[in-house]
């Protein structure tokens, strides 16, 4: 292990929770020991870390991963490699990296497996690099999961979320058409500001007729549902024959409501998608290819990752509340 000497036995600031619950209620600033990297790990000095929906669900104790308490929040960040654990190769102290699928990134320092590190080009600002991997990689994996060809249509709801925006931009870059559904009329303009078209507000009457007219007679090749409940049936109605309905999230907190007749007569398929599991199944070559595409699209201006606000770690509870507000134009980030 090769840590910077001044970090040995030091205390760091962290956004922690000692119980599971609503993030705005249970997050607080706490002091924790600076962690020491084990074999195959590196320690990273955090520059910026985003607040993702799955981070908030983890704090509520209702995600696929449940940490031991007390726990430090966060799963993605950009920072500087600060120390190397035993056997680490291909990483150097002082290297600027992005990392996702880590734990405890809402702190001044955190540990990550060296194999997860993504070197960050100098041209990429911290605000972009901090959110480059988790949501964009999920969106790109989802796009490949849907097996959509250029010219085919995908329809998605909650399209003004981080994955929805990214999916629309990445699909456009690949020639795949996306119909994006938002639940507020203002969401249409919010997406237009990012250059995203083909957006329909479900708050408008006869939105389904407008959607069908846009999709054409063959309707959609695939649909992505992040809401559940009655929204699932609405998406199924927009699928063409042999289409695929993918459950990506459950914002409504309700089971998917699916019309069996539509499912049968369209010969539709319903699948679940969890980015963490899909990522684990990716080969190293495929992951490098996808991350390389994200870097390329971002540097070319084809993928925009805006920021709504940056909060100090001490204000993590307020930041979590802000990240849940409708109408956000980008990610909420934490700065140690």
The three state secondary structure string of 279-292 is HHHCCHHHHHHHHH
pLDDT reported for residue 3:
47
**With 0-12 CB in 10 A as exposed, 13-18 as middle and 19+ as buried, what is 278?**
middle
Neighbours of 10 (CB within 10 A): 12
Contacts of 63 (CB under 8 A, 6+ apart): 54, 57
Spatial CA neighbour of 120 closest among 89, 84, 94, 95: 95
Q: 231, 225 in Cβ contact below 8 A?
A: yes
The answer, yes or no, to whether the previous bond of 70 is cis (omega within 30 of 0) is: yes
Q: At what angle do helices 284-299 and 162-174 cross, to 10 degrees?
A: 90
Cα→Cα distances 294→120, 192, 205, 206, 306, Å: 11, 21, 37, 36, 15
pLDDT reported for residue 162:
81
- What end-to-end distance do the CA atoms of the chain give, in Å? 24
pLDDT reported for residue 259:
87
Q: Which two tokens stand for residue 224?
A: 């992505």
Which mean pLDDT values do the consecutive 10-residue runs of the chain (336 residues) have?
Answer: 55 97 97 96 98 94 90 97 95 96 96 94 96 91 94 94 91 96 91 93 94 96 93 94 91 82 92 85 89 93 93 98 87 96
pLDDT reported for residue 4:
46
Spatial CA neighbour of 49 closest among 73, 20, 82, 22: 73
Spatial CA neighbour of 73 closest among 90, 60, 83, 91: 60
Q: Which two tokens stand for residue 298?
A: 């971002």
């Amino acid at each position: 292990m090769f840590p910077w000497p001044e970090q040995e036995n030091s205390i760091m600031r962290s956004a922690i929770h000692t119980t599971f619950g609503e993030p705005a209620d249970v997050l607080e600033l706490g002091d924790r020991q600076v962690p020491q990297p084990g074999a195959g790990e590196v320690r990273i000095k955090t520059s910026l870390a985003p607040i993702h929906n799955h981070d908030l669900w983890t704090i509520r104790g209702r995600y696929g991963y449940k940490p031991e308490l007390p726990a430090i929040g966060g799963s993605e960040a950009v920072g500087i490699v600060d120390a190397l654990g035993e056997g680490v190769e291909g990483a150097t102290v002082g290297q600027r990296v992005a990392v996702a699928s880590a734990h405890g990134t809402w702190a001044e320092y955190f540990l990550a497996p060296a194999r997860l590190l993504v070197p960050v080009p100098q041209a990429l600002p911290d605000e972009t690099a901090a959110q480059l991997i988790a949501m964009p990689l999920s969106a790109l994996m989802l796009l490949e999961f849907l097996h959509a060809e250029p010219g085919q249509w995908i329809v998605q709801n909650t399209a003004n979320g981080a994955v929805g925006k990214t999916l629309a931009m990445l699909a456009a870059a690949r020639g795949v058409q996306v119909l994006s559904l938002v639940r507020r009329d203002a969401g249409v303009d919010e997406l237009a500001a990012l250059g995203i078209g083909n957006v329909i507000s479900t708050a408008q009457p006869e939105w389904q007729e407008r959607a069908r007219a846009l999709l054409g007679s063959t309707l959609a090749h695939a649909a992505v549902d992040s809401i559940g409940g009655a929204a699932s049936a609405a998406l199924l109605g927009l699928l063409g024959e042999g289409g695929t309905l993918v459950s990506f999230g459950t914002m409504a907190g309700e089971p998917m409501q699916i019309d069996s007749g539509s499912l049968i007569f369209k010969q539709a398929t319903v699948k679940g998608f969890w980015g963490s599991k899909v990522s684990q199944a990716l080969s190293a070559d495929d992951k490098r290819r996808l991350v390389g595409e994200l870097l390329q699209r971002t540097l070319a201006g084809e993928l925009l990752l805006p920021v709504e606000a940056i909060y100090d770690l001490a204000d993590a509870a307020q930041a979590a509340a802000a990240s849940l507000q409708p109408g956000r134009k980008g990610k909420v980030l934490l700065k140690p």
